[in-house]
Amino acid sequence: MASPGRSMSIGQYFWEAVEAAKAVNLCSARLATRKPALLRSYVSFCLQRYDQLMGNGLQAKSPIPALTPSDLDTLTVPLRFQSGGGTDPRELLNLAAVTRLLYPKRVFEIGTYNGGTTAVFILNSSPDCEVFTLDLPPDPGGLPDYLPTDIGLVQDRSPEGFLKRAGLAGRYRQIYCDSMIFDPEPFRNTIDLGFIDGAHTETFVRNDTMKMAIMLSPRGYVFWHDYGGRGSFRPLSKYLETLPVRIYRVPATTLAWTTAGEIKKIDRRMKPRLRPIVNGMGKGNERRSA
Ligand SMILES: C[S@@+](CC[C@H](N)C(=O)[O-])C[C@H]1O[C@@H](n2cnc3c(N)ncnc32)[C@H](O)[C@@H]1O
């Protein structure tokens, strides 16, 4: 294979493409016969990487340089990286870096699961930062409009266990409420860092995005997890790609992000559509201190 950076003829490109296709197909075929349960995540990983290399979808751009990191900045992440919530080490490090550099006064996360990302927000912000994390009530009842993978996460979650064991109980506020009926108004314009990682259908992601747009402070940043997926996650990606605001993907991750200045544009444009969701349901936020 030609090494990257060396100029290649069209013939070489062609044969490299054929070799790559053979390798992917061969690996897929092997996985399909030996470990079929892993095939989906392998193909999805390859396709996401392909999109990133081809420059498909959202433009790749890291938010970190604009937050002016110094050589001496350090990050803190839990040793048990894999919380099972799907946020990988590179994504956790990006979220940790943004938290460290942004000095948020308030962080709001939609989708606690086992508290892995919540811990990253707590550990990289100052002690006076308020961290809020929202998840469904312990017994959410039927989940008719959910993707099967999301139902699995709802059933497996243990929102407060890890955070208590890690000694972080006093550092955050757990909110138990369905994001569809959650009232963002008490948080209007106060959230410096928002993270959207709840249910993954377009309906939920749209709802969570609109509410985050209301809550973000003027200097705020919002991140979405699971951008770039195919199959059942494709509508999520398409929704972000078609929003009439500038959104970027964090290079080599499934994180997408934008600033309050951008996302507030949809708050202003979509207000008439949002009102019926918010009105009348705002009083139901169940809040509980950890
Ligand atoms: C992918 S997990 C979050 C993973 C977590 N951010 C991490 O990386 O450690 C999604 C979580 O969203 C929660 N969730 C699903 N639907 C929700 C809804 N409508 N409102 C609030 N939380 C929801 C699930 O219970 C689950 O715990």
In the structure, what pLDDT confidence band is assigned to residue 274 with cuts at 50, 70 and 90? very low
* Predicted local distance difference test score (pLDDT) of residue 80: 72
Mutate to test the pocket of ligand 1, among 108, 135, 200, 277 (most ligand atoms within 8 A of CB): 135
- Among 141-145, 232-236, 281-285, which is the least confidently predicted range? 281-285
- Among 32-41, 69-78, 160-169, 211-220, which is the least confidently predicted range? 32-41
174 forms beta bridges with: 133, 288
Please say if the pLDDT value at position 179 is more than 90. yes
Tokens of 250: 């964090």
Distance 134 CA to ligand 1 centre (A): 8
Residues with CB under 6 A from ligand 1: 83, 85-87, 110-114, 116-117, 134-136, 150, 153-154, 157, 178-180, 197-199, 204
What is the domain partition of the chain in residue ranges? 10-54, 59-288
223 forms beta bridges with: 195, 257
* Short-list 190, 206, 198, 202, CA closest to 277: 206
Task: Tell me which fold the domain 59-288 belongs to.
Answer: Rossmann fold (3.40.50)
Contact call for residues 96 and 76 (beta carbons, < 8 A): yes
Phi, psi values for residue 286, rounded to 5° = -95, 120
Tokens of 275: 């009102």
Q: What mean pLDDT is reported for the chain?
A: 86
Q: How far apart are CA 145 and CA 151, in angstroms?
A: 10
- pLDDT for 107-160, tens place per residue? 999 999 999 999 999 999 999 999 999 999 999 998 999 999 999 999 999 988
* Short-list 164, 6, 199, CA closest to 209: 199
Identity (one letter) of the amino acid at 15?
Answer: W
Span 167-190, mean pLDDT? 97
- pLDDT for 63-106, tens place per residue? 999 999 998 899 999 887 666 778 999 999 999 999 999 999 99
User: Which of the two residues, 9 and 58, has the higher pLDDT score?
Assistant: 58
The residues, any chain, with a CB within 8 Å of residue 5's CB and separated by 6 or more, are none
Instruction: Compute CA distances 227 → 91, 98, 100, 149, 178, whole Å.
Output: 12, 18, 23, 15, 22
Distance 176 CA to ligand 1 centre (A): 11
In the structure, what pLDDT confidence band is assigned to residue 272 with cuts at 50, 70 and 90? very low
* Short-list 219, 186, 195, 67, CA closest to 121: 195
Q: How far apart are CA 90 and CA 131, in angstroms?
A: 21
Span 259-268, mean pLDDT? 89
Atom 14 of ligand 1: nearest residue by CA position: 198
